[in-house]
Amino acid sequence: MVRSDVRGDGGRPRVEEPGERGGGLGSTDGSSGDDGSARVPEQRGRGGGRQGGAGGRRRAGTAAPRRRRRVLRWSATVLAVVILGTAGAGYLYYRHLNGNIKKEELNLGDTKIAEPTPNAAGQTPLNILLIGSDARDTKENQKLGGARDTFGGTPLADVQMLLHLSADRSNMSVVSMPRDTLLDIPKCTDPDDGKVYAASSRAMTNESLGRGGPGCTVATWQELTGIHIDHFMMVDFAGVVSMADAIGGVPVCVTDNIESRDSLGHGSGLKLEKGTTYIQGKQALQWLRTRYGFEDGSDIARAKAQHMYMNSMVRELRENATITNPNKLRRLAEEATTALTVDPGLGDVAALYDLSKELRKVEPARITMTTMPFTYVGARVVPKEGDAEKLFRLVREDIALDGKDAKKAASEEPTSDDPAAADDEIGVLVQNGTLTSALGAAPGRAHAVSQLLVGEGFTKASADTTTATTEDKTVVRYPSAELEGDAQAVAKALGIPLSQVEKSTNVSGVTLVVGADWREGDAYKAEKKDDKTPKSADALNGADKDACMKVNPNFTW
């Protein structure tokens, strides 16, 4: 392995397409600063330091040093360690760190997505949108990002990753969206000046950040995916470099020597030897921005490189306890709080620390990195029909993307703490929910299904024949916990999955709504779901240490 500290990253501006600005974290690579030089140091092992006294020998009678505990110190954990160790001064430092954190509103759109229903243990998933901004709003960001003519211009959200933490905290899924994705951006209102940005169709997703702030990017994701987003975290060029320096080296791999620069000056300036190299600081930013140099030279390859970096960072912190002394802890605390822009829900150290504790529960082997399935439309992409929605559904339904969710047979048995009454004592109101715009309502469905229930022994079942409603799937609803067992018994009698039994304040008793999926026949045919992650999502497991970026032969040295 090589531990590298390359600092140069090129200074020539790239040729831009009309209406496009490159050089973002994960964007089309523009000029990257300085003189374009790169220095690859000689190879050296990671264990070069000697133990014990002179010559690496331990004195007789001394105990062998303990192996450091494996830890995952995300930035917030570091903050807590520093604070707890400073006693009286801790409170003042706590206030100082809180003052570093920048905050923006969470959602600037009009549409609100309902929060997910808690599982049996009362737990809910956590969805966080990670945003990389290409803002050139400071001298440091300008130096790192290049493209000097865009200084102070409207920023773009050139990295967008949805981090999904499962309700039971057993697994984590990450979905990247290519910055060139064409989609509908909803109406957003700038919270600072009240400016209203009208909805826009077929716009590039990275433009959402410039329509009032990161809350518009959140609104865009929610509109597309139907996934409720709880928080966002945004970082710019300078933030990436400062945090990467504070964390320390992270191993990345390339199949051949690579130099990300072509004859026109396109490229991030990244220069690495074949194999594994430890990168940090500016070189970490170069890696995260590189497009020219990887095999297909696209934003898709860049997303994969970003996934590799994130997985490696988690493993490095977890396995080697990179941050081990108070000075490093304090530095990372400063850099993390200064680098981040978050929503108010994550706007203080305590909230970030609580989040870090939740994230630490997931082992690398249960982390799955993916890219939204896409189809090319010219030089841009759109969500791939079928596959993209399937990936979003898996996240919405909290199904692990690594395929390791155990499907317990007992999950299809009644689980209510309150046992069901006798079948002939359960009152059931059956409604016709088969109404669709294309087919209208299937006549007589409420009566037909109520008679099926009577035949199964539910003699108090009756049909609501007043109106027809719209329900995509057949569902059994109940108003309170003491009727949950009764509702589950009704579902079981008709072969309706218990996942389609739900509590609702809109009903006064057990209510069966016959949906558009049961327009005819006496037997309910439950939909057989395919819960496998689409191959087009290009999944990468967090424990994969053999992952290596393929290099374009035109960018070797």
Amino acid 47: pLDDT:
39
Lowest model confidence (mean pLDDT) among 258-272, 409-423, 465-479, 507-521: 409-423
Asked if residue 310 has pLDDT above 50, the reply is yes
* 396 membership: H or E segment, kind and range: helix 387-396
For the chain, what is the mean pLDDT?
A: 81
Q: What is the pLDDT of residue 517?
A: 95
> Minimum mean pLDDT among 65-69, 280-284, 301-305, 392-396: which range?
65-69
Q: Out of 57-61, 323-327, 348-352, 362-366, which region has the weakest mean confidence (pLDDT)?
A: 57-61
DSSP string computed for 323-343: --SHHHHHHHHHHHHHH-EE-
d(CA 528, CA 525): 9
- 265-269, 312-316, 442-446 — most confident range: 442-446
Q: What is the pLDDT of residues 351-386, one digit of tens each?
A: 988 998 899 899 999 999 999 999 999 999 999 999
Residue 189, pLDDT score: 97
Instruction: Indicate whether 275 pLDDT > 50.
Output: yes
Stronger pLDDT, 510 or 15, i.e. the higher one: 510
Average pLDDT (321-327) is 59
Residue given tokens 């001298």 in the structure block? 139
Fold designation for 412-515: Alpha-Beta Plaits (3.30.70)
Check: pTM over 0.95? Answer yes or no. no
Q: Is 181 in contact with 383 (CB distance < 8 Å)?
A: yes
Mean pLDDT (whole number) for 182-206: 96
Strands 511-515 and 428-433: parallel
Tokens of 291: 């497009």
Distance from C-alpha of 468 to C-alpha of 481, rounded to nearest angstrom: 27
| Beta strands 275-279; 501-503: pairing state | unpaired
pLDDT at site 320: 64
Query: What does the CA dihedral 270, 273, 274, 277 come to, rounded to 10 degrees?
Result: -80
**pLDDT given for residue 110 in this prediction:** 93
pLDDT at 416: 62
Backbone conformation region of residue 64, classed left if phi is above 0, alpha if psi is from -120 to 50, else beta: beta
- Give the pairing type, strands 341-342 and 231-235: antiparallel
- The residue among 222 and 326 whose pLDDT is bigger is 222
Cβ atoms 426, 420 nearer than 8 A: yes
Which pLDDT value is given to residue 231?
A: 97
- Asked if residue 513 lies in contact with residue 477, where contact means CB atoms within 8 angstroms, the answer is yes
Predicted confidence band of residue 72 (pLDDT cuts 50, 70, 90): very low
Q: With bands split at pLDDT 50, 70 and 90, how would you rate the model's confidence at 89?
A: low
Mean pLDDT in residue range 521-545: 93
CA distance 90 to 95: 9
Whether residue 435 is predicted with pLDDT greater than 60 in this model: the reply is: yes
Residue of higher predicted confidence among 457 and 154: 457
Q: In what order do the strands lie in the sheet with 2-3?
A: 2-3, 275-279, 250-254
Statement: residue 121 has pLDDT above 90: no
Q: How far apart are CA 25 and CA 306, in angstroms?
A: 10
Out of 284-298, 420-434, 458-472, pick the least confident.
Answer: 284-298
The whole-angstrom separation of Cα 257 and Cα 71 is: 33
pLDDT over 90 (residue 288): no
Highest-confidence segment of 89-93, 116-120, 309-313: 309-313
Instruction: For residues 82 and 61, give the distance between their C-alpha atoms in angstroms, rounded to a whole number.
Output: 34
pLDDT tier for residue 82 given thresholds of 50, 70 and 90: very low
pLDDT-derived band at 406 (thresholds 50, 70, 90) equals: low
What pLDDT does 483 receive?
A: 95
- Look up residue 553 and give its amino acid: P
Lowest mean per-residue pLDDT among 136-145, 165-174, 420-429: 136-145
Residue of 531, 306, 517 whose CA lies nearest to 396: 531
DSSP label of 456: T
- Give the mean model confidence (pLDDT) for residues 151-158: 73
Between 389 and 53, whose confidence is greater?
A: 389
User: For the residues 243-272, what does the mean pLDDT come to?
Assistant: 87
Q: Report the candidate in 133, 103, 547 with the shortest Cα–Cα distance to residue 369.
A: 547
Find the mean pLDDT for residues 284-298: 87
The answer on pLDDT for 542 being more than 50 is: yes
Which residue in this structure is represented by tokens 């392995």? 1
Q: Within 10 Å of residue 238's Cβ, how many Cβ atoms? A: 22
pLDDT at 148 over 50: no
% of the chain beyond a pLDDT of 70:
77
What average pLDDT does the segment 521-534 reach? Answer: 90
